[in-house]
Chains A and B, each alone.
Chain A
Amino acid sequence: MKKNISKKIYEIQKKIRIVEEKIASNYNQNRMRCPTHLSIGQESVAATSGLALSHNDISISYHRSHAHFLAKGGSSKKLFAELHGFDEGCSKGVGGSMHLIDLKNNFYGSTAIVSNSIPVGVGLAYSLKLAKKKNLVCIYIGDAAVEEGVFFESINFSVLKKLPVVFICENNFYSVYTHIKERQPKKRKIFKLASAIGATSHSFKQDNPFKLFQKFDELFKKIRKNPMTHFVEIETFRYLEHCGPNDDTSLGYRKLQEVKKWKKKDPLAFSRSYLTRNKILNKNQIEILDKKININVDKDFNFLSKLKKPKFKDIRKLVYKA
């Protein structure tokens, strides 16, 4: 793997982590007044798939989408502004954390109703096919999404029409406070379910982001060449509460032990030591890089203080396109 790609893999993960931590540490100021689902712990999936997607590939996501948005090139400035409800936000503050968009980078949107964006992603892929474009649509979903009927209907159609779609299922084992074993049959793997419907299915691991990137990269190249519907399941873990900035182990729905186990194999920490171990960057260089990311994220966050409070009358006209 090229050195600059390895560096990039680390950099994107780190940036997502820092952005999310910035949100978490400021959330209690009560200025980000919207339900906010953080991706801390799940960054490597977004970072590596985002990097493997080409500019003209499309991605679309669900309620936990900050990482996907950033990894496709979305601006942290616009993300912060969106969460704070400013007109300068990526959705003008109308949508909030759960409705992000960045058309410049072909991030077509994230939506808040479970599975809502799945058929939309398939539709986007159908248009790619009609236009004979050599690109793909990446549909990010959580583990609960496959419980909705619309998932089955959409993937069936996608397989039927040989659409260039890759589903990336971030299985973090929980839907809000409910473990997957209370929602889905114990021994049935999600990727096998997708395979039975006819999608080419894969189970990837997040622990080594560099390997993960290579797998995505190969897969996406294949899909661009030979349009087909693929499904990737990746087991991952969110470190913080389902919605909001806090640790929520005190609720008792998951054990501290479980959280610790996942934190111990943190993909970001792996990437960091990988860079030094393989002499891609030394400790000092990494620190400089981290500092640079931190400074930029701070700058993006501090820019908010200059913004004017928007008014309802300015968005009334958005209901219909003139």
Chain B
Amino acid sequence: MKTSYSQAINKALIEEMKRNKKLVCFGLGINDSLNFFGTTKGLEKKFGHDRVFETPTSENAMTGIGVGMSLNSNPCVMMHQRLDFFLLAMDQLVNSAAKWHFMFGGKKSVPITIRLVVGKGWGQGPTHSQSLQSWFSHIPGLKVVMPTFPKDAYNLLKKAIRDPNPVIFIEHRWLHNVEQETKKIKYKSTKYLPELISKGADFTAVSYSLSTIEMLSLKKMLNKNKVSFDLIDLKSIKPLNISIIKNSLKKTKKLLILDSISHPICSVGSEILSQLYREKNIKLIKPPILLTLPDVPTPTSTYYTKDFYIKKADIINNVSKLVGKKIKFVSNDSNLHDVPDSNFKGPF
């Protein structure tokens, strides 16, 4: 049986709503005909519109309202079809949700989960494509998770919902149709930890969310070129645990971080590099490579995004540099670079 990322999220939501009768879900588009990319299918029907409701276009207020409900024994899952829309809610997120537990001496915490979807392609442009995990990670009191695969999305969303603290749950739009072979998905108690998802010898690759899919898609071709790598999928951006990265580097001594949905300054990748730099036992034999988007907002035109986003060829050329080997490959960076598959037609 195959389960898609959006089905996994749907299942997690339904099960958690069943498990905790006080849990509430809300957001723009949650109950419309497209069910939030399929992730909220059947939710309102099963649990009623008091617990599953559409909101006015009021991101800041709704976040604060979610904080209030969470404080008063109704944990919440709030959702936004684009992360960019949630930027209106920074006051309630940063000044209320993140700090409530601390600033009132630990009296009450805010069990709210905020699902944010990151857009890419089909001219999502400057204000519909931002992936600001670095911002959120900077704020003490927040947790930030970005699962790549359906099973992880399922487990981590459940974990986030049960977490007594605010958790930012970021879903890349291009992951919603990613499928995974599953027997029966069952909740496995998880930790906010990275995972070594593929083993190799020549270098260590670190990635998360869509970038893990991009890295994984090169595995076969690199293996054919007699290049193999450890691939570490971060899953959790905050807390960020780098032990597994350290262990891998002791073996490979070469590092490539693919942070391909982030701008370069103060990125997740630069944070990892900074932490590694301060470690005693890490000795790299080549300068580490960090690949990010340029320090430029996302342009809309497909002619511009072609060279704005990181191409497979860019990654391969950097791998080649890192391992000191020529790599033969057929470039399939087609002109469909701005859609996840040929069926995808904007806008969402």
Q: A residues engaging B (CB < 8 A)?
A: 30, 33-36, 84-86, 89, 93-99, 111-116, 144-145, 147-150, 175-178, 182-184, 243-244, 251-253, 309-313, 315-316, 319
Contacts and interface: CB of A to CB of B under 8 A. Distances in A.
Nearest to A183: B56
B299 A93 contact: yes
Nearest to B59: A148
Contacts of B304: 85, 93-94, 310-312, 315
B127 A309 contact: no
Contacts of A98: 125, 127
Contacts of B308: 312
Given A116-B127, A178-B28, 11 more contacts: A34-B123, A85-B123, A85-B304, A93-B299, A176-B28, A176-B29, A177-B29, A183-B55, A184-B56, A312-B306, A319-B296
Contacts of A94: 125-126, 299-301, 304
B85 interface: yes
Interface residues of B, number: 44
A96 B302 CA distance: 10
B299 A33 contact: no
B306 A178 contact: no
B296 A183 contact: no
B54 A178 contact: yes
Nearest to A317: B296
Given A93-B299, A94-B300, A144-B57, A150 B347 contact: no
B32 interface: yes
B88 A35 contact: no
Given A144-B57, A150-B88, A35 B122 contact: yes
Nearest to A149: B60
Interface string B116-156: 00000111111110000000000000000000000000000
Contact of B338 (A33, A244, A309, A311): A33
B34 interface: yes
Contacts of B348: 35, 243
**Ranked 4 nearest A-B pairs via Cβ:** A34-B123, A85-B301, A35-B347, A96-B300
Nearest to A35: B347
- Classify the secondary structure of B's interface with A: loop
Contacts of B347: 34-36, 243-244
Interface in B17-43: 28-29, 32-34
A96 B58 contact: no
Contacts of A112: 125, 127-128
Interface in B51-100: 54-61, 84-85, 87-88
A115 B345 CA distance: 26
Contact of B57 (A35, A36, A148, A313): A148
Contacts of B346: 33-36, 243-244
A99 B300 contact: yes
A279 to B, nearest CB: 45
A243 B345 CA distance: 12
- Classify the secondary structure of A's interface with B: loop
A147 B57 contact: yes
Contacts of A95: 125-126, 300
Given A112-B127, A176-B28, A243-B347, A183 B54 contact: yes
Contacts of A89: 301
Nearest to B338: A33
Given A309-B303, A310-B304, A319 B297 contact: yes
B203 to A, nearest CB: 28
B50 interface: no
Nearest to B61: A149
A184 B348 CA distance: 25
Contacts of B122: 33-35
Given A244-B346, A244-B347, A177 B34 contact: yes
B294 interface: yes
Contacts of A150: 88
A35 B32 contact: no
A44 to B, nearest CB: 25
Contacts of B56: 144, 147, 183-184
A316 B296 contact: yes
Contacts of B60: 148-149
A30 B345 contact: yes
Contacts of B341: none
Contacts of B295: 319
Contacts of B307: 311-313
Given A33-B346, A95-B126, A244-B347, A182 B84 contact: no
A253 B56 CA distance: 17
Contacts of B57: 114-115, 144-145, 147-148, 175, 183
A183 B347 CA distance: 23
18 contacts: A33-B122, A36-B346, A93-B303, A94-B125, A94-B304, A95-B125, A99-B126, A112-B127, A115-B57, A147-B56, A149-B60, A149-B61, A175-B57, A177-B34, A310-B304, A311-B307, A312-B304, A315-B304
Nearest to A97: B123
B300 A253 contact: no
A111 B127 contact: yes
B88 A113 contact: yes
A34 B59 CA distance: 24
Contacts of A30: 345
Nearest to B127: A112
Contacts of A319: 295-297
B139 to A, nearest CB: 21
Given A30-B345, A33-B338, A35-B128, A310 B303 contact: yes
